[in-house]
Amino acid sequence: MFDRKALFDKIREVKGHPLTQADVDAVNAVLDGLQPGTDPRWLIEARKDLGLKEIPGAQHAPRIINMLKLLRYPFSDDETPWCGTAMAAWMTQAGIAPPPQAYRAANWRDWGMPCTPQVGAVGVKSRVGGNHVTMIVGITADRKFYKGLGANQSNGVNIADFPVDVIDSFRWPSTVAVAGLSLPVMPRGTLVGSEA
């Protein structure tokens, strides 16, 4: 088992002084598969919504409704597939224009410019009954699964595993230089249960 305390002790020894909280947070983020200070703006926005879930029934999650209002989309519920809506909200909040009718996951397939799989790339996959859009944030050690941070993944915003052969388009905003951030290796997690 990895001993974080021993690592921090060694870092303190090498630096020759105590670590600041920012130092500790940065090391923890790297150990947890994040890239502090280098994450694209839209990924920073997306991380703020981790844990957001639909509310079953007549009530609706206020954050999802606010996304729809921000984008002036013609829906007023959280039952309508919202992976594209969330992606559009995160891009908009980061100052990047989403594609027209971005609530349709398929419309992300030709948005921006093509890129290689990397941290912050928008990944689009085809599925029976529609498409799904997610943000690539990592890969498993066996390189069989991309880690995708997305919305409407089992009815919430989370990081889920996607087999590498199901993501058929990787996109990057055309107004931002491609960062080329290598995918951190992350532990296997949960395969997305539903994207509808």
Whether the full predicted model's pTM is greater than 0.75, yes or no, is yes
* One domain, residues 144 and 155: yes
- Residues in Cβ contact with 64 at an 8 Å cutoff, skipping those fewer than 6 apart: 52, 54, 78, 82, 85, 86
Q: Which residue, 140, 137, 127, is CA-closest to 157?
A: 137
The one-letter code for the residue type at 91 is M
pLDDT: is 99 or 1 the higher one?
99
> Would you say residue 107 has pLDDT above 80?
yes
Average pLDDT of the segment spanning 126-138: 92
3-class secondary structure, 96: coil
Q: Is the CA virtual torsion 83, 85, 89, 92 positive or negative?
A: positive
Strands 122-127 and 130-140: antiparallel
> Is residue 153 situated within a structural domain?
yes
* One domain, residues 3 and 63: no
| Weakest-pLDDT range from 2-6, 85-89, 107-111, 128-132 | 2-6
pLDDT: is 166 or 13 the higher one?
166
CA distances from 88 to 13, 22, 26, 97, 120 (A): 45, 30, 28, 8, 14
Q: E strand or H helix at 157, and its extent?
A: strand 156-163
* One domain, residues 107 and 28: no
Average pLDDT of the segment spanning 44-57: 94
The CATH number of the domain where 124 resides is what? 3.90.1720.10
| Tokens found for residue 166 | 């199901």
Q: Which residue, 148, 124, 145, is CA-closest to 136?
A: 148
Give the pLDDT of residue 37. 62
For 20-32, write each residue's pLDDT tens digit. Answer: 776 776 676 666 5
* One domain, residues 52 and 91: yes
> Would you say residue 145 has pLDDT above 90?
yes
* One domain, residues 142 and 70: yes
Q: Kindly state the percentage of the chain with pLDDT values over 90.
A: 68
* One domain, residues 63 and 6: no
* One domain, residues 2 and 95: no
Pairwise CA distance, residues 60 & 67, whole Å:
12
* One domain, residues 82 and 174: yes
Q: How many domains does the chain have?
A: 2
Average pLDDT of the segment spanning 157-179: 95
> Is residue 191 situated within a structural domain?
no
- What range does the domain containing 24 cover? 1-32
